[in-house]
């Protein structure tokens, strides 16, 4: 990568912004090609996502999911481990949340939140531990094992929902509703304390604050602790890290545990905060969106936060677009895919010209 030639500020702002812009330009051409007005579409998306506290609520709700899964991928990537098992880890996290909420009577949501977060993190971490262990001790490639574990997680969850958690006679393979005491306070209740009015409809809840807290925690862990230093050193060069006395196996397993725990925490938002019960396919691709979020956020917690907001906007704005125009849902998926394509796969297409630009300026 020609990273050295681009100033840091440009690397973290100019490159992703240009990529997003390019993705939007092509999306606009596509919308125009199917006979809709791109300008009206953009307006509808922005208004739908940010034009009201209702829109903000949904945008933030989706963003919360993507912060967790994005952080999970970002942490693993700091050690150059490509954890694409966020989907399965979050599913297992959901199982942890459900077990904690269903089988232990909680007097207050705050205790339930702490316990459910622990449950989600432990289950997610345990699911990431196995691929981590296999990578560290057996050399099985983490990309292969984590993606396979997504399917195993889906099967395991299907088994639990159909045979264990489903109330007898119920059609729907899902757990019973969690007790009312475990319902997390929604954002409008939190803001209501400060007298700020907010729409009561969207499912955005206190997990948003947990997610933001996790951004800080991950930043602190990576750049202010010994473990974080070891992770980054290991990621930059494995032989150098080993020479410095860092055990590759230990770091691999630790990183995967942290990554899996973060992915699992997503379930606190979606399962406990929104659905209030565990349903089939509770993650809905957020684990995979996390990869795009981490790529776009340059594997930095702050970048992950911003990228998660962008994807939250695409989800909510896209929903409004589907609701009020003739633009089919598939095209919204295409727009999201274009953003992923440009920020992830075609990164160098933007990076190299920008690097040249800076090189020319430097030469002058």
Partner 1 sequence: MTRSHKFAGAASLLALSAGMAHADPALMFDLGGKFDKSFNEAAYNGAERWREETGGSYREIEMQAAAQRVQFARRLAEAGSNPVVVMGFQNAPTLEEVAPDYPDTSFVLIDAVVDLPNVRSVIFAEHEGSYLVGMLAAMANETGTVSFVGGMEIPLIAAFACGYAQGAKAVNPDINVIVNYTGDTPAAWNDPVRGGEIARAQISQGSDVVFAAAGGTGLGVLQAAEDAGVFSIGVDSNQNYLHPGSVLTSMLKLVDQAVYDAFTDGPGLETGVVQMNLAAGGVGYALDEHNEHLISDEMQEAVEAAKAAIIAGELSVHDYREDSACPAF
Complex with partner 1: residue 228 or 273, whichever CB lies closer: 273
Closest approach, Cβ 119 to partner 1, in A, equals 21
What tokens does 196 get?
């700020």
Contact 120, 264 (CB under 8 A): yes
Tell me which stretch binds partner 1 (CB under 8 A): 76-84, 126-134, 221-229, 311-319.
311-319
According to CB under 8 A, which residues from 53 to 72 bind partner 1?
58, 61-62
Regarding 297 and contact with partner 1 (CB under 8 A), the answer is no
Burial of 107 (0-12, 13-18, 19+ CB in 10 A): exposed
Closest approach, Cβ 166 to partner 1, in A, equals 8
Contact 127, 89 (CB under 8 A): yes
Complex with partner 1: residue 57 or 228, whichever CB lies closer: 57
The torsion angles phi and psi of 174, rounded to 5 degrees, stand at -150, 160
Per rule CB under 8 A, count of chain residues that contact partner 1: 39
- Nearest CA-CA partner of 284 in 250, 333, 247, 230: 333
Closest approach, Cβ 306 to partner 1, in A, equals 21
Contact 122, 182 (CB under 8 A): no
- State the CB neighbour count (10 A cutoff) for residue 50: 15
Regarding 337 and contact with partner 1 (CB under 8 A), the answer is no
Buried b (16+ CB within 10 A) or exposed e, 293-307: bbbbbbbbbebbbbb
According to CB under 8 A, which residues from 315 to 334 bind partner 1?
315, 318-319, 322-323, 328-329, 332-333
Buried b (16+ CB within 10 A) or exposed e, 316-348: bbbbbbeeebebeeebbebbbebbbbbbeeebe
Question: Of these, 2, 39, 105, 151, which contacts partner 1 (CB under 8 A)?
Answer: 151
Closest approach, Cβ 198 to partner 1, in A, equals 16
Contact 205, 185 (CB under 8 A): yes
Question: Of these, 120, 228, 265, 277, which contacts partner 1 (CB under 8 A)?
Answer: 277
Dist. CA 348–CA 354, nearest whole Å: 9
Total residue count of the chain as it appears in this document: 364
Closest approach, Cβ 184 to partner 1, in A, equals 14
Complex with partner 1: residue 233 or 293, whichever CB lies closer: 293
Complex with partner 1: residue 122 or 321, whichever CB lies closer: 321
* Residue pointed to by tokens 């300026």: 361
Regarding 361 and contact with partner 1 (CB under 8 A), the answer is no
Regarding 243 and contact with partner 1 (CB under 8 A), the answer is no
Question: Of these, 2, 225, 281, 348, which contacts partner 1 (CB under 8 A)?
Answer: 281
Complex with partner 1: residue 81 or 153, whichever CB lies closer: 153
Tell me which stretch binds partner 1 (CB under 8 A): 7-15, 136-144, 154-162, 188-196.
154-162
H or E element, residue 52: none
Query: How far is the CA of 181 from the CAs of 106, 174, 193, in angstroms?
Result: 7, 19, 19
Question: Of these, 2, 13, 37, 155, which contacts partner 1 (CB under 8 A)?
Answer: 155
Site string for partner 1, 161-200 (x = CB under 8 A): -x---x-xxxxxxx--x-----------------------
The residues that touch partner 1, with contacts defined as CB under 8 A, are: 58, 61-62, 151, 154-155, 157-158, 162, 166, 168-174, 177, 201-203, 270, 274-275, 277, 279-282, 284, 315, 318-319, 322-323, 328-329, 332-333
């Amino acid at each position: 990568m020609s990273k050295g030639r681009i100033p840091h500020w440009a690397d973290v702002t100019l490159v992703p912004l240009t990529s997003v812009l390019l993705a939007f330009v092509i999306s606009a051409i596509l919308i125009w090609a199917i006979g809709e007005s791109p300008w009206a579409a953009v307006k509808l998306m922005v208004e739908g996502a940010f034009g009201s506290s209702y829109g903000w609520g949904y945008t933030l709700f989706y963003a919360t999911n993507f912060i967790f899964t994005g952080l999970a991928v970002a942490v693993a990537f700091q050690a150059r481990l490509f954890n694409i098992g966020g989907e399965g880890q979050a599913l297992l996290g959901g199982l942890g949340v459900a077990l904690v909420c269903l089988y232990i009577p909680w007097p207050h949501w705050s205790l339930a939140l702490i316990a459910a977060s622990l449950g989600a993190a432990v289950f997610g971490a345990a699911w990431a531990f196995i691929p981590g262990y296999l990578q560290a001790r057996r050399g099985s490639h983490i990309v292969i094992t984590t993606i396979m574990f997504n399917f195993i997680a889906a099967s395991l969850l299907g088994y639990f929902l159909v045979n264990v958690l489903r109330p007898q006679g119920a059609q729907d393979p899902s757990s019973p509703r969690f007790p009312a005491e475990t319902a997390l306070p929604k954002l409008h209740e939190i803001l209501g304390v400060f007298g700020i009015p907010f729409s009561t409809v969207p499912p955005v809840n206190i997990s948003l604050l947990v997610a933001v807290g996790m951004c800080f925690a991950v930043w602190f862990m990576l750049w202010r602790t010994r473990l974080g230093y070891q992770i980054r050193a290991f990621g930059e060069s494995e032989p150098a890290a080993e020479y410095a006395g860092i055990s590759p196996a230990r770091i691999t397993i630790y990183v995967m545990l942290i990554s899996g725990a973060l992915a699992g925490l997503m379930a606190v938002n979606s399962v406990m905060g929104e659905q209030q019960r565990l349903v089939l396919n509770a993650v809905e691709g957020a684990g995979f969106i996390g990869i795009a979020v981490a790529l776009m956020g340059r594997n930095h917690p702050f970048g992950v936060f911003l990228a998660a907001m962008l994807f939250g906007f695409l989800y909510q704005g896209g929903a409004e677009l589907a609701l009020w125009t003739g633009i089919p849902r598939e095209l919204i998926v295409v727009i999201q895919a274009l953003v992923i394509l440009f920020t992830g796969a075609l990164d160098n297409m933007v990076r190299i010209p920008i690097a040249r630009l800076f090189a020319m300026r430097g030469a002058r």
